[in-house]
Structure 1
């Protein structure tokens, strides 16, 4: 009997035309499986392709129709395309640690910038520049969700007790606004640097703490954004077991 492999990470993407859905699976042995479910004449056909890396897949994420990012082993955040070729670019450029570290929870920030967790800090990665911390006051980060439409990030942090366990008294949620700054890189070009500042924070004694936090922000801080931006937002955010919906300046709990 063939031994079952341990799946470490999973990410799914919806597409149009004949493609119903596609997903990526990352495994402990370094295997990456790309599966596409296509429909033609009411017949659904799965197409599987497998690639192999030298280290455990700790995170994997679609960043466009044809590209995806993943971390494999230590000191890596690779960006490549779905064609199955060997060409890939490593965006990991953290020089502040003596040893290379694991990147987890990869997410798209903009078309040219990704985010990920390294040593419980939230970092920004891009193709050419050094990686840097997004928010200096965010420590002990274990999860987060980015809304790239209006550049806000929900951060979930937790400290471990003496037994190495996460306890409710040490959990808290922070809602942060992401700011973009233009920095002169060369005489002919600029680059964008991103930073985040905490707007609201609550202690996470229950999962409802997150819902309470975003409701407070929606009610008291929404005037900071253009009303038209909020009206056209209808994006679903999955974060720490809650599914929340931004729509028409109101926040609704839908699950």
Structure 2
């Protein structure tokens, strides 16, 4: 079958290996610093609320959500949602993750352009992820180049979403470190482990973007092989 082997497979394989490395790195960093408590005894929820208050974001709520490491900021409801171990946790990892999600709330309030662009791309990415492969496979199998090209176009939308996500996540982590440092929530000694956790998490987004780009290259090469 054309999706097993063929043009571009090496790119996908390399991206897959990067994804495994990134996931192992973030798991190791989180597990290591999830066992190290911060010196002030603050929980992730307390830290997030304090940072929001510090930035005048009184309309943003902090609430607990189900699951493990399901932390995120919802711009539609203006809520920072933290998983139980981050919400109640006092570890360095918990504070770093809570501050990172708060960083997204600060981005939203300041109309940070890359975040607005990413949010606008959400429906495009969802549609692309759903339709791209079926359209491409059908077009490729039935020798309908127009249909295959449409599938590639849809997939391009999903790729752009992954690429746009990178500056958003990098900036949120940078804001998190700055907020924790400037507000004296953590000592300089404690900031280094937090930075390690956030950098490891950022690598997973790099891997996701690399995987998407590799898949796009493969689709283009497969499409070209039929010309």
**More strand per residue:** 1
TM-score normalised per structure 2: 0.25
Could you say which structure has the higher helix fraction? 2
The higher relative CO (CA closer than 8 Å, separation ≥ 6) is in: 2
| TM-score in terms of structure 1 length | 0.23
